[in-house]
Amino acid sequence: MEMTHNRAPYALPALLVGIIALVWALFLGGMLAGLLGVGAAMLGGMAYADTRSHGFDGAEMALIGAALGIVAVVLMFVGFAVM
């Protein structure tokens, strides 16, 4: 028996880019963290829309990736404000 995962195509990349953006924002800071965060939020939004409209799995990964991306963007702005 073969199990197939019907996951949204952008759910896993959104999660991975969100994690990378958050780690980058926490330890290195800078504009790249914000760009990665925006990318993660966009990928997460697209993946979540796919789960809602096409019935794919992976809504949790999409939302977590988008949330991590937003947190990375906020940390980027906080880092710039502190400087």
Q: Tell me how far apart the alpha carbons of residues 9 and 24 are, in angstroms, rounded to a whole number.
A: 24
pLDDT of residue 20: 96
pLDDT digits (tens, 9 = 90+) for 31-67: 999 999 999 999 999 999 999 998 899 999 999 999 9
pLDDT digits (tens, 9 = 90+) for 15-26: 999 999 999 999
pLDDT of residue 7: 87
pLDDT of residue 73: 95
The reported pTM is 0.89
The runs of H, that is alpha helices, within 1-83 are 11-27, 31-54, 59-82
Largest CA distance in the chain: 57
Q: Tell me how far apart the alpha carbons of residues 26 and 53 are, in angstroms, rounded to a whole number.
A: 34
Q: What are the residues whose beta carbons fall under 8 Å from the beta carbon of 23, sequence distance 6 or more? A: none
pLDDT of residue 1: 54
Q: Tell me how far apart the alpha carbons of residues 18 and 62 are, in angstroms, rounded to a whole number.
A: 10
